[in-house]
Amino acid sequence: MERDDLIVNDSYSLNATHSEEAGVKIRKNIIFVTVLLTAITAVEVAMGIIFKRAETYTWEAIKWTFVVLTLVKAGYIVMSFMHLGEEKSVLKKSILLPYVMFIIYLFYILATEGFGHLFNHNSFH
């Protein structure tokens, strides 16, 4: 049976080959990222099931652990699936720096507005 998804004159699809070593490297990277993201997700789910506002651990530490694990997962997704990990350092920095600055700005707003309101207006008059 002849495949109809390959166009005979399409040089891109016919020339898009790589060596077996490169294929093994690509597959190992895909398996590593998949296992890592699955493991991090399993840890997050297990923490959500086990630590239901447990008194032995502080709830704040558990919430920050979730935030850190989520940021690690997001970093691996961006670096692997969006191919940012293969780019040059200058391009990585030019893409990631605005996001980092925005996150720092959000923490600044949280610290100045949220904590200021919390400590200055906690009485119920």
In this prediction, the residues of the chain whose per-residue pLDDT falls under 50 are: 125
| Per-domain residue ranges of the chain | 19-86, 88-125
- Confidence (pLDDT) at 7: 56
Q: Output the average pLDDT for the chain.
A: 78
Q: Is 111 helix (H, G, I), strand (E, B) or coil?
A: helix
- Confidence (pLDDT) at 57: 64
- Confidence (pLDDT) at 117: 66
% of residues, the chain, pLDDT over 70: 74
- Confidence (pLDDT) at 94: 86
CA distance 64 to 68: 6
Q: Contact, 62 vs 47, CB < 8 A?
A: yes
Largest distance between two CA atoms of the chain: 81
- Confidence (pLDDT) at 119: 67
Q: Is 1 helix (H, G, I), strand (E, B) or coil?
A: coil
HEC string of 38-100 equals HHHHHHHHHHHHHCCCCCCCCHHHHHHHHHHHHHHHHHHHHHHHCCHHHCCHHHHHHHHHHHH
- Confidence (pLDDT) at 16: 57
The pTM assigned to this predicted structure is 0.59
